[in-house]
Amino acid sequence: MPESTIEPSEPRSAVRSLLRLWPYLRPVRVRLFGSVAVAVTASCLALLIPLVLKWMVDGPVADRDPAGVWLGGGLVLGLGLLEAGLFGVRRWLVARPMARLEAQMRGDLYRQLQRLPVAFHDRWGSGQLLSRGTNDLQILRMFLTFPLVFLIVNGVTILVGFGILLSQQWSLGLVLLLPVVPLVVLCAYFESRYALAARRAQDQIGDLTTLVEESVLGIRIIKAFGRHRSQAVAFREQSHRLRTTELRKARLLADLWALITGLPDVALGAALVFGSVQVADGALSAGTLVAFLSTALALRWPVESLGWLLSISNEAAASADRVFEVMDAPVPEEPDEPEAEKRPGRDDPPAGPADGEGPDGIRFSGVRFRYPDAPEGTPDLLTGVDLHIRTGETLALVGATGSGKTTLTTLLPRLYEATGGRITLDGMDSAWLARPVLRAMVSTAFEEPTLFSASVRDNVLMGAPGATEGDLMRALETAQCGFVHALPRGVDTQVGEQGLSLSGGQRQRLALARAVVGRPRFLVLDDPLSALDVHTEALVEAALRQVLASTTALVVAHRPSTVMLADRVALLDEGRITAVGTHHELLRDNTAYRWLMSGGGEQADERIEGIPA
């Protein structure tokens, strides 16, 4: 992910950013525009009150007519109640649609995150994505509910109000209009700086969220190594940076408010003096001056609120930019794409095995791969892998740490896209298969098992949503997960976040059960037994042999006991398959393989003698 603290080279257009929300607003535009019309009507009703006051001062008050005063008071009260009722209607019109709009945007963002490739998630911090799905969407909902409406309402109110002022006494109206040009210039100046500060603050909130999330998930590591103080220091430093940015926002907003409040007040004071002189000279009635000043005071909130509304608008624009950064990220293909859709740079593949040929198993042909964010000039991680796993065969993949074993396994279900070469499954090019079709064929168990905050049943059946209760129990038995029956609610027990209420071996066994529950056509196991004790490992191996007998499997292996599950072994070295054979053949003929199986060292030859052949 790009550094979150990097600012754009120049301020982006807040209006252009906010206009991107229109597709979400279109379905509720009637209620939104209706709420604007209602709010404008309510604000304009408030501007009628000064006209009633003018009539009262120049009429009943001057004529000492109590009945007229009561009538004027009743009109003012009625206008106030009607204004309050209309603002209540405005709120009712937008509250439900805006809540639904927020839910729709959150749903779209979540679906986009699920569709984006693993390479995208490798680059982005989880806290940054979390803050976009929570804090940023909440800011957008609040903006659409109130500030957006009142930017329009207050703008119309100011125009109508100044029209009334100019019609009452044009000379006094011009005095109040004098600050308009400097206010527009100064607002544009502060708005551009506030926009950058708002974006920086929201990115820093994402960084802080990432730090908190990692600290919570890694609390065992932090405590085990006594690193709570260093984590606290890191948190304090990021909090201090965020505090500094928020204070800068506050200073900018304070300066803006001071100008928006001060300049109109100076103009209002000048108009008061000028009007009072005109009343004393008999050129202006007292009622007109009262109405003029009352109208000017009624416009004070719409004018002063512009600073706050502009700041909220800039934060909403920054939130929209952050949300659409994720929404605009390219998705390789749609989930429902046709299986034979043309992909650029490839020859037309066969839709399946050639006529007269049976299943072909898994073939890697000249497969190359480099990570998308790898520095320029660095060599490919996989530089041309050629490998054939025959149908029904189990092949163990071995190699030194960092040789690309796990990366190769992620290419089968297309968690990453190969940058060259071809991978076929029973003759079908995996690059041409729709991902749902491909992932229904290939099942995977990773070395680091991930469980979700759900029941044992839900975690296992994630591997095959249509599996039966019998399939569930068979998979649990295969993975030696008998411990689940001793849990408080059996298979319906919640395992907690990341499955941390279970031991490492238990989590690994549940992940293995999830991989085999759907009786997959192709099975990929990344060192599936690394966290098991010797006795459990022997039981799981015995059950796995039955599963592997009915599928085509690729097993990443780091120790001889896992290798013994395979029919053949392939050695991956420097991005290529350098040797393929049985465990016995490679022990006899390949020095690098013997070194790996022995663990290396001066006594390697002595340890090799103890490895079963």
Structure token pair of residue 514: 């999830």
**CA distances (Å), origin 100, targets 95, 133, 605:** 9, 15, 69
Q: Residue 379 has what DSSP assignment?
A: P
Rounded Cα distance, 452 and 282, in Å: 82
Structure token pair of residue 364: 């890697």
The verdict on pTM exceeding 0.75 is: no
Say what percent of the chain tops pLDDT 90: 5
Confidence tier at 389 by pLDDT (50, 70, 90) = very high
Region 96-100 average pLDDT = 81
Ordered by where they begin, the domains of the chain are: 15-327 (1.20.1560.10), 362-372+379-581 (3.40.50.300)
Structure token pair of residue 228: 């709570």
Region 232-255 average pLDDT = 85
Whether the CB-CB separation of 570 and 367 falls below 8 Å is answered with: no
Q: How far is C-alpha 84 from the chain's CA centre?
A: 39
Whether the CB-CB separation of 408 and 310 falls below 8 Å is answered with: no
Confidence tier at 289 by pLDDT (50, 70, 90) = confident
Whether the CB-CB separation of 472 and 517 falls below 8 Å is answered with: yes
Q: What is the pLDDT of residue 224?
A: 65
Q: Look at residue 336 and tell me whether its pLDDT is greater than 60.
A: no
Rounded Cα distance, 298 and 264, in Å: 12
Q: For the CA atoms of 71, 72, 76, 77, what is the dihedral angle to 10 degrees? A: -30
Pairing assessment for the beta strands 568-573 and 394-399 based on DSSP bridges: parallel
Phi, psi of 347 (to 5 degrees): -80, 155
Confidence tier at 609 by pLDDT (50, 70, 90) = very low
- Tokens 């000017």 sit on residue: 296
Q: How far is C-alpha 582 from the chain's CA centre?
A: 47
> What's the pLDDT tens digit per position in 104-150?
888 888 888 888 888 788 788 777 888 888 888 888 888 888 888 88
Q: Look at residue 606 and tell me whether its pLDDT is greater than 80.
A: no
Region 279-293 average pLDDT = 77
Enumerate residues 6+ apart whose C-beta is below 8 A from 513.
460, 463, 475, 476, 478, 479, 481
Rounded Cα distance, 160 and 44, in Å: 8
Per this entry, what is the length of the chain?
A: 613
Q: What is the pLDDT of residue 571?
A: 92
> What's the pLDDT tens digit per position in 50-84?
777 777 776 766 667 677 678 877 887 887 888 78
At 466, the amino acid letter reads: G
- Tokens 């690729």 sit on residue: 554
Q: What is the pLDDT of residue 171?
A: 77
Confidence tier at 354 by pLDDT (50, 70, 90) = very low
Q: What is the pLDDT of residue 294?
A: 79
Structure token pair of residue 424: 């076929």
Q: Look at residue 266 and tell me whether its pLDDT is greater than 50.
A: yes
- Tokens 């420097």 sit on residue: 574
Rounded Cα distance, 363 and 386, in Å: 7
Instruction: Name beta bridge partners: 555.
Output: 396, 525
Rounded Cα distance, 451 and 513, in Å: 12
> What's the pLDDT tens digit per position in 526-560?
877 665 667 777 777 777 777 787 889 898 887 78
Q: Look at residue 353 and tell me whether its pLDDT is greater than 70.
A: no
Rounded Cα distance, 149 and 147, in Å: 5
Rounded Cα distance, 350 and 371, in Å: 28
Confidence tier at 220 by pLDDT (50, 70, 90) = low
Count of beta carbons in the 10 Å neighbourhood of residue 457:
17
Using alpha carbons only, give the angle 53, 162, 191 rounded to the nearest 5 degrees: 130
Phi, psi of 363 (to 5 degrees): -125, 130
Q: Look at residue 273 and tell me whether its pLDDT is greater than 70.
A: yes
Nearest residue to 94 via CA among 46, 155, 30, 40: 30
Q: What is the pLDDT of residue 498?
A: 66
Q: What is the pLDDT of residue 387?
A: 92
Region 565-591 average pLDDT = 89
Q: What is the pLDDT of residue 600?
A: 54
